[in-house]
């Protein structure tokens, strides 16, 4: 340890004290409003059912995991060891051997996608990025930030890549490295691109320079816990993957994990002397609190607990599809998905349940806080809505 003298408690709150009455009133009003809207949130893939109060004392520390979590830093108020444990667990779930694994806790799925594309560009500066129409909006933004050449591929009706279109498009660019942005659970329909078919296409066309990044924001934490998962991990040929932490696991601060092979990262690493660490991450300063959240959740659930959690979500999704159908609403979902898709209902229903709509569809995502009673209420509302009877 550093041998620095320690303030005997209270250092963090020094100078702030109790809020003024007007400030307290604002906080109370905000608290009530948040409590209210949290009860009716069924359209976004965030688990709202958690309790991290055991971590409250750590809000008193300026935790900062600046730079590469696998290298020590001169800044000692950090949770880097905890972060490495989180990365190791996620690597295991994604079938990435520990000796080859590198990753860090990100600010969310978007940053993880950016990291994957950034590495892909470092490795294949002239590559073209291929991604389906159903890909998350963050990808187009990231491609614009990174200024990477890209081609959008058609999607099938269920949200999966159109493999014929991918084949044809790659075929006419056979002289160029291929970077595939594969969806392991699309945002609107929960569709999973078939990594075996994607690799088959690259093999058929004798493409040797390729990179596959998986956007597994939501389903990356579902597939490891089901009986018969679609291929999703490093064993299925991906080179990097982005997962969200605030989705299946749930977190009061947005966060995620990005994983790749340490061999790739060594090629982009740059040492920053005054930090005593490596500049391998997109941000410089990084939260030391979010790794603690994910670590705590993993400790709390364990892998069996997560399996139970995910099983419950899938059961509720199956229940929702059944209930919708009973009421004559043509709802459906992809295999191993908790995203239940149905015709867009009246705006009041979208608002009331925070259902994410897109064009003529909407979805309910059966996250752990979405109960069967909530599903019943939504189904009843939709069955009585003009939007549902149009189709």
Report how far residue 361's alpha carbon sits from residue 343's, in angstroms, rounded to the nearest whole number: 5
The CB-of-256 to ligand PLP minimum distance in angstroms stands at 5
**CB-nearer residue toward ligand PLP: 254 or 291:** 254
CB neighbourhood size of 288 (10 A): 23
- Verify binding: residue 187, ligand PLP, rule CB under 6 A: yes
CB neighbourhood size of 201 (10 A): 23
CB neighbourhood size of 293 (10 A): 25
Report how far residue 132's alpha carbon sits from residue 197's, in angstroms, rounded to the nearest whole number: 14
Catalytic residues: 337
Counting Cα atoms < 13 Å in the Cβ hemisphere of 365 gives 25
Give SS3 for 218.
Answer: coil
Full strand arrangement of the beta sheet holding 128-132: 101-106, 256-261, 240-244, 210-215, 178-183, 128-132, 150-153
**CB-nearer residue toward ligand PLP: 103 or 254:** 254
- Verify binding: residue 109, ligand PLP, rule CB under 6 A: yes
Binding span for ligand PLP by CB under 6 A among 183-191, 339-347, 365-373, 376-384: 183-191
**CB-nearer residue toward ligand PLP: 186 or 240:** 186
The CB-of-199 to ligand PLP minimum distance in angstroms stands at 20
- Verify binding: residue 138, ligand PLP, rule CB under 6 A: yes
The CB-of-21 to ligand PLP minimum distance in angstroms stands at 36
The residue of the chain with the least Cβ separation from ligand PLP equals 109
Sequence-separated (6 or more) residues with CB below 8 Å from residue 355: 42, 43, 345, 349, 362, 363, 364, 378
**CB-nearer residue toward ligand PLP: 65 or 183:** 183
- Verify binding: residue 160, ligand PLP, rule CB under 6 A: no
Residues 238-267 that bind ligand PLP (CB under 6 A): 244, 254, 256
Binding residues for ligand PLP, rule: CB under 6 A, are 45, 108-110, 136, 138, 183, 185-187, 215, 217-218, 244, 254, 256
């Amino acid at each position: 340890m550093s041998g620095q003298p320690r303030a005997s408690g209270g250092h963090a709150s020094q100078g702030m004290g109790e809020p003024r009455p007007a400030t307290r009133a604002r906080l109370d009003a905000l608290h009530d409003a948040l409590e209210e809207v949290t009860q009716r949130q069924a359209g976004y893939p965030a688990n709202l059912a958690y309790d991290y109060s055991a971590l409250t004392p750590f809000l008193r520390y300026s935790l900062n995991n600046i730079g590469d979590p696998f290298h020590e830093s001169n800044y000692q108020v950090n949770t880097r060891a905890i972060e490495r444990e989180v990365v190791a667990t996620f690597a295991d779930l994604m079938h990435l051997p520990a000796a080859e694994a590198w990753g860090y806790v990100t600010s969310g799925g978007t940053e993880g996608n950016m990291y994957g594309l950034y590495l892909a560009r470092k490795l294949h500066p002239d590559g073209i990025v291929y991604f389906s129409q159903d890909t998350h909006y963050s990808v187009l933004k990231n491609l614009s930030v990174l200024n990477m050449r890209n081609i959008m591929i058609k999607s099938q009706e269920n949200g999966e890549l159109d493999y014929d279109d991918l084949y044809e498009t790659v075929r006419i660019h056979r002289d160029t490295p291929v970077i595939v942005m594969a969806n392991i659970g699309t945002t609107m329909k929960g569709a999973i691109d078939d990594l075996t078919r994607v690799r088959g296409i690259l093999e058929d066309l004798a493409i040797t320079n390729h990179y596959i990044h998986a956007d597994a924001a939501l389903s990356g934490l579902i597939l490891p816990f089901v009986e018969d998962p679609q291929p999703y991990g490093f064993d299925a040929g991906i080179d990097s993957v982005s997962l969200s932490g605030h989705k299946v696991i749930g977190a009061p601060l947005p966060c995620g994990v990005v994983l790749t092979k340490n061999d790739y990262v060594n090629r982009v690493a740059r040492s920053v002397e005054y930090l005593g660490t490596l500049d391998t991450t997109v941000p410089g300063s990084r939260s030391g609190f979010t790794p603690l959240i994910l670590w705590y959740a993993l400790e709390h659930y364990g892998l069996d607990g997560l399996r139970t959690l995910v099983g419950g979500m899938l059961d509720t999704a199956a229940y929702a599809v059944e209930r919708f159908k009973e009421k004559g609403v043509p709802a459906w979902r992809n295999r191993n998905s908790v995203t239940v898709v149905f015709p867009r209902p009246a705006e009041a229903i979208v608002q009331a349940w925070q259902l994410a709509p897109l064009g003529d569809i909407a979805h309910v995502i059966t996250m752990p806080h979405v109960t069967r009673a909530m599903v019943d209420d939504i189904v009843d509302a939709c069955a009585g809505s003009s939007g549902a009877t149009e189709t």
